[in-house]
Amino acid sequence: MKDLRQKYGDWALITGASAGIGYAFAGYLAKKGMNLILVARRRERLFSLSADLENKYNIQAVPVVLDLTADNFLDELKPVTENREIGLLINNAGYGSAGRFAEGDLDRYTDMIRLNCLAPVRLTHYIVQGMIQRRKGAVIFLGSVTGHYGSPFFSTYSASKAFNIQFGQSLWYELNKFNIDVLVVSPGSTETEFHDLAGFSRALIVLSPEKVVRKTMRVLGRRIEIIIGPENKLLVFFSRLFPGKLILRIKGFAVKYMIRNK
Ligand SMILES: NC(=O)c1ccc[n+]([C@@H]2O[C@H](COP(=O)([O-])OP(=O)(O)OC[C@H]3O[C@@H](n4cnc5c(N)ncnc54)[C@H](OP(=O)(O)O)[C@@H]3O)[C@@H](O)[C@H]2O)c1
């Protein structure tokens, strides 16, 4: 892979860097020599991660404690990003909430959509302006295997991931002519804090966040989307092949089982 800084720019901005897949992205990119802007809400984790990566890899890491569901989050982010060449944006922060839709908390669904969908739209619109001027850059969106077909008892989340998949695919085309790479990543069940927060158990086969990141970075600039894990590729393949009613019944059964066994 061509040197990431040379190809895209000196800085990467990662949302949701305090845990899970975002944390793994931070480690990977620091090792590759990129400077980092790390965004999440948990201050201590962000500051200690930034200090660790700076010491270990001789890069600059700027922790930004921010709630991406806040209306004014861009105002708070702008002073940090204005004089830095953000070459790689990773729209990673997100969460899910499992359960019967009509019985769930509407505020939680609304907040999830603000984080999973609205924040990537607002952040990407802001960050790509500089990339377009420089004629280089890359944007990564976190989709999910579950975003490839509706998912009973995980309805708002799977819809929010479908949003990221289609938004990313569309931007791949629009931004391509400015030499900006766009990639949608769809992992399956990954060993992070995600499941405990979402309220259901992990799948039988679980990916490591480091593997998700390695596979993602390997295809950045070459693909529009990557579904990670052969079993997950099969799931998506079958969901396109079989009748919708059957897929929804199987998914409904599986998610219900995972909620019961959390
Ligand atoms: N794990 C899986 O099985 C899986 C599968 C497919 C797709 N994904 C996607 O992968 C992405 C990362 O998930 P993960 O598995 O790494 O989950 P995770 O371990 O729960 O990490 C989520 C990250 O998002 C941050 N975050 C949450 N709410 C935020 C807010 N309001 N403002 C700013 N940051 C916020 C969290 O930090 P703070 O709490 O410190 O704010 C944390 O750093 C998500 O988009 C998820 O949908 C995950």
Q: Which residues line ligand 1 (CB under 6 A)?
A: 15-22, 40-42, 66-69, 92-95, 115, 142, 144, 187, 189-190, 192-194, 197
Q: Which long-range contacts (CB under 8 A, 24 or more apart) does 214-221 make?
A: 214/28, 216/140, 216/183, 216/185, 217/1, 217/28, 218/1, 219/183, 220/138, 220/140, 220/181, 220/183, 221/7, 221/138, 221/181, 221/183
Mutating to test ligand 1, I would choose from 36, 38, 41 the residue with most ligand atoms within 8 A of its C-beta, which is 41
pLDDT of residue 262: 74
Ligand 1 centre to CA of 95 (Å) is: 5
Which residue's C-alpha comes closest to atom 17 of ligand 1?
194
Ligand 1 centre to CA of 64 (Å) is: 16
88-128 confidence digits (pLDDT tens)? 999 999 999 999 999 999 999 999 999 999 999 999 999 99
pLDDT of residue 202: 82
The candidate with the shortest Cα–Cα distance to 212, out of 31, 34, 24, is 24
- Ligand 1 atom nearest 143 alpha carbon: 7
- Ligand 1 atom nearest 202 alpha carbon: 3
pLDDT of residue 2: 53
Which residue's C-alpha comes closest to atom 1 of ligand 1?
190
User: Which one is catalytic: 157, 233, 245, 262?
Assistant: 157
Ligand 1 centre to CA of 92 (Å) is: 6
- The verdict on whether 157 is a catalytic residue reads yes
Domain range annotation of the chain: 4-260
Mutating to test ligand 1, I would choose from 194, 195, 211 the residue with most ligand atoms within 8 A of its C-beta, which is 194
pLDDT of residue 119: 98
pLDDT of residue 1: 45
Residue 18 to residue 21: CA distance in whole angstroms: 9
Which residue's C-alpha comes closest to atom 36 of ligand 1?
16
pTM tops 0.95: yes
Residue 224 to residue 183: CA distance in whole angstroms: 5
210-243 confidence digits (pLDDT tens)? 999 999 999 999 999 999 999 999 999 999 999 9
| Tens of pLDDT, residue by residue, the chain (262 residues) | 459 999 999 999 999 999 999 999 999 999 999 999 999 999 999 999 999 999 999 999 999 999 999 999 999 999 999 999 999 999 999 999 999 999 999 999 999 999 999 999 999 999 999 999 999 999 999 999 999 999 999 999 999 999 999 999 999 999 999 999 999 999 999 999 999 899 888 888 899 999 999 999 999 999 999 999 999 999 999 999 999 999 999 999 999 988 988 7
For 4-260, CATH number?
A: 3.40.50.720
- The verdict on whether 257 is a catalytic residue reads no
Phi, psi of 180 (to 5 degrees): -110, 125
